Amino acid sequence: MKKFVSLTFTLTLLFSTQAFSYNNSLAPQPDVFVKKKTFNVGDIAQGGIIFFVNKTGDHGLVAAQNDQFENQNFQDCLDGINDPKNHDELGQQFLDWRLPNLWEAYKMYMNLYMINVGNFSAAPYWTTKTTVGFDKVHIMNFEKGMDLTSYKSETFRARAVRSF
């Protein structure tokens, strides 16, 4: 019985010491079990339309709700894609917009365009995937669902994306 009481007292003391050293005060601590906000493809959030989420639904990619450019060359799109005046009110709340890479453009095509979400055109869109030579870049043709290469001086559409 004496060993049991001693063991109980030691464990209680050990755990209460750890609790105080961890909290460092008796002040209320934030709830560590607060549920994170999760998102689904197609949700309007984070400045646009969610088109990809991770397995837990708390991080992903969002596309602007409308095209930022309709007939502009690559450099003009690259320079102006993050300008707030090229975004709607929801998109203006964020300053980390960029052109999509080829994989992201393909995900927009599959997850939004194919189900008629996001007001996408069937026309080609710029991506940031470069190809052999400094003057060519990949475009994503939304009409055919395939990528092609084009000169940066040609004009196509641009849709901004951002990570969250």
Q: Which fold has domain 44-163?
A: Mannose-Binding Protein A; Chain A (3.10.100)
| pLDDT value for 89 | 97
Residues of the chain with pLDDT under 50: 1-2, 4-25
| pLDDT value for 131 | 86
Instruction: Please give the Cα distance from 42 to 87 (Å, whole number).
Output: 18
DSSP run (H or E) holding 107: helix 102-111
CA–CA distances in Å: residue 83 to residues 52, 77, 96: 23, 10, 10
Order across the sheet with 60-63: list the strands. 44-45, 48-53, 60-63, 161-163
| pLDDT value for 132 | 79
| pLDDT value for 134 | 86
Domain range list for the chain: 44-163
Q: Is there a contact between 163 and 97 (Cβ–Cβ < 8 Å)?
A: no
Instruction: Please give the Cα distance from 14 to 22 (Å, whole number).
Output: 12
- What pTM was computed for the model? 0.77
